[in-house]
Structure 1
Amino acid sequence: MTKQAFVALVTCFNEDETINYEATRAQVRRQVEVGNNIMCAGTNGDFTALTFEEKVRLTEEVVDEVGGRVRVIVNAGMPATFETIKLAREFDRIGVDGIAVITPFFIACTQDGLIRHFSTVADAVITPVYLYDIPARTQNHIEAETARTLSGHGNIAGIKDSGGAKETLEAYLQVAKEVDGFEVYSGPDHLVLWALQNGAAGCISGLGNAMPHVLAGILKGVNAGDVAEAERQQAIFAAFRTDLYALGFAPAMVKRALYLQDASVGASRQPALLPNEEQDARIANILRQYGLL
């Protein structure tokens, strides 16, 4: 099976904090040109800072810009099942390829509550639903047995694992091996190649915003059976990740690294961290080391 890379696309903002849709479209084109698929309105897309209406328009703009050339997944997850369904139905109408549903945040959930949440959303739409686990941000975690239960739902197609723990990823991959049609997408950028070699259908990468060609190179190497090339590209990706993430919060560092390559990306909405000249200089130095600036 051909493995696929998705980039967890940033959302671009103007100086007055309105969304810069044209700049966002430019970032879509940049990814499509190298063959990467798109995930929008996720963690790297500042989804918690966007209104309901903005998420709908953002998805319309991205889908229109993609024009069917690559796949588009959009995150509909919100704390309440009610609003998640409302968003998911809008994305269903627009015509995306998949709807990701991040675990509820702020609200503490039992595993039974998660099963009810995801099942109810999946019942409400035709578009395939993907579970999205990122416990460090939501404080809720989809256990492997819960994923196994949900894999039996006719409209739940897989899971995005952004937990960062190899053991959790292994447990999800075991579910995928045992359940036909259930796909695992790896979130941690240092595990892209390992995940692909161990049964993942693909990856959903935040770092790919700043280094799209290398992410695409890992996938091309894997799909062509060129392990040495895939390993070479993964080594570059992992080293860049280590250097960049040593400076601060991962999504913020990705956004800033991209901003220094293209100022039209803008900053994130407040209360996100303000630009820091000293930090920017260190990021720029890293970008130069990797031939990105």
Structure 2
Amino acid sequence: MFDSPRISAFQRSHGQARIVLGPRGIVDLAQSGSAKAMLPRVAGGLPEIVFLNTSGGLASDDRLEYGIELHPRTRALATTQTAERAYRAEGDMARAYVRLSIGEDGWLDWLPQETILFDGAALDRVTEVDLAPGAGCMLLEMVVLGRLAMGETLTHLRLHDRRVVRREGRILHHDALALDDAGLRRLDGAAMLNGAKAMATLSVIAPHAPDLLGRARDTLTEPGVTSAASAPPGRLVLRLLAGDGWPLRRQINRLLQVLRPDPLPRVWQV
């Protein structure tokens, strides 16, 4: 019999995809490794950018970067082809970076599909948005704690998730979430997730955003979803909790249909 050589290190996944759009379409596209960016044809609504991680998920020491630059007066929607998965990590954390730059009087809807965290996942993710004068954006983040269809309950986790929006270098919005093993043990408390396994934050950053508060609150009626909305100056922020991802997605779909004039991303399964 042949002896199999011992594998001393796992192959790591690295990917970068960046796209530049102007009012007439693609200006530049660069992609490498496991990260891809596509622009499917859409009959109506905003131009649609779809990112894909061909490695199938994020494990220890993987690195994934997505980037978008919109020229002045350019509007677009960006999403991911499927849910992102963060797998059990034995060593260093997987790292994900999203960098979004929106030119003067431009607009971006950043609506990625959910991130599913497996037991033992270790993920450090940063989303940074730079807005020029007159620019605005909508940002969505959905997180599911465990493979709920398999009855998985998380007992080990390292999560650092941060979103920062700046206009001309000044911070307008900062939203951060950090969870570890000790935090997981407290999540079922009423002051935390109160037993929820799926959560989302939907933010609109624009001068008109507070005007949407009443419309948003009127839409927060999905059974099985606990939600709240607030409207600080220049922002609308909605936070949602659910027992699993399906009612959460239904509520998000209804909010997006009310808060924006364009169709939902075509790649979403609705």
**Fold match by TM threshold 0.5:** no
Q: Between Structure 1 and Structure 2, whose CA radius of gyration is higher?
A: 2
More helix by share: 1
More strand by share: 2
TM-score by length of 1: 0.28
TM-score by length of 2: 0.30
